[in-house]
Chain A
């Protein structure tokens, strides 16, 4: 019988140079601090010797734009490529030094997909979509030079309205937990992105965060109070710049009612950075 042996969530632009350009020395210090905690989380994850790592993250209009935008998509196949962007700027530049190819856990991905369709989740699938910094920045920060286990990338449409609801993302997480429980594998799961940044996806508002909203989310996660999170609306998430919390909702569904420990929370004017780990029984 399989088990979720590790669960963590974290910010996903993990690049000191990027934040030094955006926020000065405090940007570098802050991201280095959160990266140090994520690296420690990675050591704890590696110690579990898991068979696979599920990564729940979002596409930044790189993989799916604009022929189709899946609400929830499971990456299947045997390997995944990192996104390649010529003359990369901003958050895309984070990828430049990273390995280009990563193994996938084909059987677990297929199980999540096939059993998901049977369970009523109209999941999209992809054999080809590449993964961007939302997946690879946390994965590489967690592992450093250690081997990365086979991945199961799962995309949540966090940005292109209409997005899936918080409640639906949580239900999908419950589905993932059911699949893992019936499987022979020990599995880690991470959700990436956030916390608050880029409210209303509006360029003039880049540089604003919503610390009050972040602390409310953190309070509920620390206390294992997941019911209020199910009521979060797309409008609330958009106004607070919490679009990527939908990824976290999938993880919460997978581990509920586990309580979270905050490993790092740091305010920065461009984004509030966080690294959170769940206490699993």
Chain B
């Protein structure tokens, strides 16, 4: 598990609208080359914010990414 990899990805999704749009359109393509473990990648592909939080994704990020936020 890499706390940095998960959270830097969450941060990009929050702060970079173009990257967010690419992720929403084609998550697998957007995540190509991103250094994630298999469980982390699966959680992002499923947009499973609970799983991402359980894997180390900070709560305030998983609650505030436009269009993807868990409430």
Q: Is the pairing of A and B real?
A: yes
Whether the pair A90, B64 counts as a contact (CB closer than 8 A) is yes
Whether the pair A90, B58 counts as a contact (CB closer than 8 A) is no
Q: Which of B50, B53, B61, B70 contacts A61 (CB 8 A)?
A: B61
Whether the pair A66, B7 counts as a contact (CB closer than 8 A) is yes
* Contact mask for chain A residues 178-205; partner B; CB cutoff 8 A; 1 contact, 0 none: 0000000000000000000010011110
Whether the pair B60, A86 counts as a contact (CB closer than 8 A) is no
Query: What is the interface residue range for chain B against chain A?
Result: 20 to 34
Interface status of B59 (Cβ within 8 A of chain A):
yes
Whether the pair B58, A88 counts as a contact (CB closer than 8 A) is no
| Neighbouring A residues of B63 by C-beta, 8 Å | 89-91, 203, 206
* Contact mask for chain B residues 38-68; partner A; CB cutoff 8 A; 1 contact, 0 none: 0000000000011001100011111111110
Interface status of A65 (Cβ within 8 A of chain B):
yes
The chain B residue with its CB closest to the CB of A60 is B60
| Neighbouring A residues of B62 by C-beta, 8 Å | 203
| Neighbouring B residues of A90 by C-beta, 8 Å | 63-64, 69, 71
Whether the pair B58, A160 counts as a contact (CB closer than 8 A) is yes
- In the complex, A90 Cα to B63 Cα: how many Å? 7
- Chain A residues 26 to 76 lying within 8 A of chain B, measured CB to CB, are 60-61, 65-66
Given contacts A89-B65, A90-B69, contact A61 B60 (CB under 8 A): yes
Whether the pair A88, B66 counts as a contact (CB closer than 8 A) is yes
- In the complex, A201 Cα to B30 Cα: how many Å? 27
Whether the pair A91, B58 counts as a contact (CB closer than 8 A) is no
Interface status of A102 (Cβ within 8 A of chain B):
no
Given A87-B17, A202-B54; 16 other pairs, CB 8 A cutoff: A65-B11, A65-B61, A66-B8, A85-B14, A86-B66, A87-B66, A89-B64, A89-B67, A90-B71, A91-B60, A202-B53, A203-B50, A203-B53, A203-B54, A203-B70, A206-B59
A-B contact pairs, 27 of them (CB 8 A): A61-B7, A61-B58, A61-B61, A65-B8, A65-B61, A85-B64, A86-B66, A87-B17, A87-B66, A88-B64, A89-B63, A89-B66, A89-B67, A90-B69, A91-B60, A91-B63, A91-B64, A92-B64, A160-B58, A198-B59, A201-B60, A202-B53, A202-B59, A203-B53, A203-B54, A203-B59, A203-B63
Chain A contacts to B: CB under 8 angstroms: 22, 60-61, 65-66, 85-92, 159-160, 198, 201-204, 206
